[in-house]
Amino acid sequence: MRLKDKTAIITGGGTGIGLATAHAFHQEGAKIILFGRRKEKLEKAVEKLGASAMIVQGDMTNNNDLDQLINETLHNFKKIDVLVNNAGLFNGSPLHEISDSQWDEIMDINIRSVFQLTRRVLPVMLSQKYGNIIHISSILGLIAVPEVAAYNVSKGALNQFSRSIAVEYGSSGIRSNSICPGLIATDMTADLMKDTELMKEWSKEYPIGRFGKPEDVANACLYLASDESSFVTGITLPVDGGFTSH
């Protein structure tokens, strides 16, 4: 019960890393608010989580939806202890070919919407004199690979955003950390991972010898959300099977 009596918002909570994190938090006693666009996925998730969880349907890029998320969370649970900024978008194109709309879409979802939600959560955490923000970034926020420049940039910005929160609000009892997963088997990566030859080649870069599972990232989230990490803030934690070690 490491998260007993704590309230956690998880964006993109209906599938993948968000859903695995919701299950991990639930098992440790947290009250959970799942936010996302696909209502049926959220409802299915809450069926398994029970009465200690609720859903708020909405779009990360819609400020009215973010206001509703905050209002409903405070109405039902009175506080926000943990925010997991998990919702994100991945797609690729050579940098000289990417359109303005493609660039803007990635930036809007992966960094601007995170800023908008976090800006709404911070006053609540300041009034509580406590808070914990976890950002699901990527190893591509630490290194760069070809043909996904916009994604690389958005995740690099997210890591710096997290550090900025850590240094600005640490004295107010608020922690902020980034998790940088390697390749994780989720809906977002399903099409990519169908390329068996590519996966065979990529797997050589993972010293542990496998790609990640959503639960691998969820366990890192659990550590950072718990008081066991009370002296940890401003870090970027690779959860990547050793990929970034060489």
- Measured in whole angstroms, the distance separating CA 85 from the mean position of its chain's CA atoms is 4
Q: Within a 13 Å sphere around the CA of 75, how many CA atoms are in the beta-carbon half?
A: 8
**In a 3-state reduction of DSSP, which class is residue 146?**
coil
133 conformational bin, left if phi > 0, alpha if psi -120 to 50, beta if neither: beta
Quote the CA–CA distance of 241 and 115 in Å, as a whole number. 29
AA identity, residue 50 = G
* Sheet of 131-136, strands arranged across: 53-57, 31-36, 7-11, 82-85, 131-136, 174-181, 236-239
Q: Which residues contact 205 (CB under 8 A, 6 or more apart)?
A: 243, 246
Q: Which helix (H) or strand (E) holds 32?
A: strand 31-36
Q: Known catalytic residue: 169?
A: no
Instruction: Determine which one of 151, 169, 206, 223 is catalytic.
Output: 151
| Nearest of 123, 7, 6 to residue 56 by alpha carbon | 7
Residues annotated as catalytic are 151
